[in-house]
Structure 1
Amino acid sequence: MLAAKSVSHAEPDRFVEFVDVEKSYDGRTFAVTRLNMHVAKGEFLTLLGPSGSGKTTTLNMLAGFERPTNGSIMLDGQSVDRRPPYERNIGMVFQNYALFPHMTVEENVGFPLSVRKLPKADVTTRVHKALDMIQLRKFGDRRPGQLSGGQQQRVALARALVFEPSLVLMDEPLGALDKKLREHMQLEIKQLHSMLGVTIVYVTHDQSEALTMSDRVAVFNNGGIAQIGTPDSLYKKPESPFVAGFIGENNTLEGVIEQVSGNVCQVALKGGGCLRATAIDIGAQGTSCQVAIRPECIRIAAAADEENDFEATVEGRIYLGDHLRLLARLDNGQLLSVKVGPETTTTEAQRIRLGWSHTDCRAFPAQQ
């Protein structure tokens, strides 16, 4: 009697797992180096980074379009390193939609079901359900060329979801859309994720898109992960100058470490003045550093009542509707961008006092 075949399943928080994964195309340089990352079942994880950082290569290895040079990729507890793309039960959404122009919307959405040889009645039922989900049922007999860009992207999304995959990969899916439509589609995709509970790995270079949509974000740089965490933790607690500069807006002040006490340091700023900051892996006394502070964390102070207190001159005012952006030059010559309410009545050339706490700014080793 044959023994039943055992099927391993990953822990829910390790539905997808990269173990020491590396990828080289020429045997000398690596597009991805020593990547260790996991994705929980039902999670929306975004791979964020500049061009050439390794995020798309990582997605292609997970999809099966590329094979790792070293390491292993696990899906639901099983290695998929040698499994072709069509055996991975993965849905894929591309930036260019990749719809068949000669097929109708219904035929495009039903294509993954047809190649799986599902009965025609089942195909029709699932296609109609998918088109209802994206609110395009009435466009079922049209061809892609008769749809707007946003409608085509929704069709591509329905096609990726119609066969109920265990995982959906999205490679810059909104990059070809205008700003308003892109923001609308971000909310639609997030709502579909919440409704269906499917696991999504999403690639983008747009940090606002990543912050808006994701449960967690992996920030890529030079072929590896610089930091991974929730959007809130990445924004408020960056662990490196790269992450601080890539996620949101940041002011950077240059200086030298004067003193360190626990996780707080005192910094002598270039050009004069000193401040206290949260210390992040900084060196010893006398080493160069850079201090990062968000524009919205800087307050216009009426008196010297802030932990860090500086006098500055307003060099510019930019009205942005819901807030006002001030460009303020500190007396030491360094420039700060300050985000304040639109009712603020400061004028150019006005002298102001700026203040913030050490918890609002983070000191990092100076980048070489």
Structure 2
Amino acid sequence: MVSTGQSSSLRSPLAAGARLATGQGDAKFVEFIDVEKSYGNFHAVRRLNLSIGRGEFLTFLGPSGSGKTTTLNMLAGFERPSEGVITLDGKSVDRLPPYERNIGMVFQNYALFPHMSVADNVAFPLSVRKLPRAEIGPRVVRALEMVQLERFKDRKPAQLSGGQQQRVALARALVFQPTLVLMDEPLGALDKKLREHMQIELMQIHQMLGVTIVYVTHDQSEALTMSDRVAIFESGAIDQIGTPDELYNKPATAFVAGFIGENNALDGVVERVVGNQCLVALPTGLKTTAMAIGDIRPGAPVHLTIRPERIGLSGAGADSDNRFQATVDGRIYHGDHQRLLARLASGQILTVKVGPEATMAAGEAIDLCWPISDCRAFPAGAVPDGSSANIGSVS
């Protein structure tokens, strides 16, 4: 893959516009202002307000039907907002057809022309824009060099692997120097190993070109790995937007806490609130102190979340504000770590990440502990379908 230290012959002219653009520091390169999209009585997108910075890699993440792809399609011009305004570089694009928005698109199915060679596929956006033939050739060569496919330029798409076809689609999306590139589940058809390799390649290309990328996926690992920021969609609205670190370590809602990463879940009732912390009574009568997130009041039911790696064994650290007795139910070996299944007195099982050297046997009594800062209390509500939270069972 091309490194960020590649010579200027590769970076120009593909990267020239992007390098100038990123220097402007425009935090509102793309804006959604009170945007809604309805299909009859169904609201696919609800009152969306979002700003995307120039040169940013922003990912839309969420379950099926959450509104992320509809939002991308409105930005691309394939759908028109029912209400609100979408701007690109300060200009409204609501009534511009897709081909006039100067946006590159990469789809999950690649959308390559099977009867055309790789070179002709990449050249297609330049041909429809009626660029001189003398300019098309060098641009195609540079684009294929960028994705390391120059030696395959005469092959047909069917003669390439899935990863190679995806790189052709990426080269075609970048060859005409778009101001913005939209990607809709572009790696979804690839196997795990190739998908992870392509994630690295996409990050390197983004760093090299500085182009603005809006990416749609339902794969949270993909989103956390690649993105500057991630917007979590739920029921047609953004539930939370932030850096991967913010979303993982400081989820603002129970939905985000359950959707991102793995979480243990406990339910209880608030006994008292002091500042940004609350004391919660669990059904067995045990009590734990947690960070109060949202509208938390005494007497109200709450939903607690603690990540498996934040739970320690008693004595493993000084910052152990909450301690509980448990019994080892089993261990799952993962090579670099193990997942300890710990059963509380209530019968609920918590997952605890421990080192590969751990030797606790089934039935052994252990003490669990976790800091207040790593236990978050949300107003009681349903955990989202497909989340990785553990609620009374092992996930």
Equivalent positions of 1:75-86 (< 5 A) are 75-86=88-99
Tell me the CA shift for residue 252 of structure 1.
0.4
> In the alignment, does 2:65 pair up with 1:74?
no
C-alpha RMSD of matched pairs (Å): 1.2
Match for residue 93 of structure 1 among 106, 120, 127: 106
Separation (CA, whole Å) in 1 of partners of 2:294 and 2:205:
40
Q: Distance in 2 between matches of 1:202 and 1:253?
A: 33
**Which residue does 1:358 correspond to in 2?**
372
Change over 3 Å in CA distance of 1:257–1:135 after alignment to 2: same
Instruction: Give a deviation string over 1:39-72, Cα, whole Å, max 9, x none.
Output: 0000000000000000000000000000000000
- Point out where structure 1 has 5 or more consecutive residues left out of the alignment: 1-9
Report deviation, 1:302: 3.7
Alignment partner of 1:158 out of 171, 191, 194: 171
- 1:321 and 2:335 correspond: yes
Alignment partner of 1:57 out of 66, 70, 76: 70
Asked whether 1:233 is paired with 2:234, we answer no
The 1:348–1:163 alpha-carbon spacing in structure 2 relative to 1, beyond 3 Å, is same
* TM-superposed deviation, 1:179: 0.4
Question: Is 2:118–2:157's contact at 8 Å kept on the other side of the alignment?
Answer: yes
The secondary structure found in structure 2 opposite 1:24 is strand
Aligned residues with identical type, % of pairs: 68
Matching residue's letter, 2:36: E
How far apart, CA to CA, are the structure 1 residues paired with 2:204 and 2:350? 38
Quick check: 1:279 aligned with 2:292? yes
Matched length: 358
Question: 1:224 maps to what in 2?
Answer: 237
Give the distance between the partners of 1:261 and 1:144, measured in 2 at CA: 63
Is the CA contact 1:282–1:289 (under 8 Å) kept in the aligned structure 2?
no
Q: Which runs of 4+ in 1 moved over 2 A?
A: 302-306
Residue 199 of structure 2: aligned partner:
186
Tell me how far 1:304 sits from its aligned partner.
Answer: 10
Give per-residue Cα distances to partners, 1:157-210, cap 9 Å, x unaligned. Answer: 000000010000000000000000000000100100000000000000000000
Q: Which moved more, 1:275-284 or 1:204-213?
A: 275-284
Q: Which moved more, 1:295-304 or 1:335-344?
A: 295-304
* TM value normalised by structure 2: 0.89
SS of the residue 1:36 aligns to: strand
Structure 1 residue 303, shift from structure 2 partner: 8.4
Partner of 1:4: none
Report the Cα offset of residue 298 of structure 1.
Answer: 0.3
How much has 1:11 moved relative to structure 2?
7.1
The answer for the alignment partner of 2:321 in structure 1 is 307
Displacement of 1:282 in angstroms is 3.5
> What is the correspondence of 1:32-181 to structure 2 with a 5 Å cutoff?
32-181=45-194
Q: Choose which of 224, 239, 263 in structure 2 pairs with 1:250.
A: 263
Q: Is 1:200 aligned to residue 213 of structure 2?
A: yes
Which residue does the alignment assign to 1:3? none
Note if contact 2:273-2:296 (Cα within 8 Å) is conserved in structure 1: no
Q: How far apart are the structure 2 equivalents of 1:11 and 1:184?
A: 30
CA offset at residue 132 of structure 1?
Answer: 0.4
Q: Residue type of the partner of 2:111?
A: A
Cα separation, 1, equivalents of 2:285 and 2:222: 38
What is the CA–CA distance in structure 2 between the aligned matches of 1:349 and 1:173, rounded to whole Å? 46
2-structure distance, mates of 1:74, 1:316 = 54
Q: TM-score, normalised by structure 1?
A: 0.96
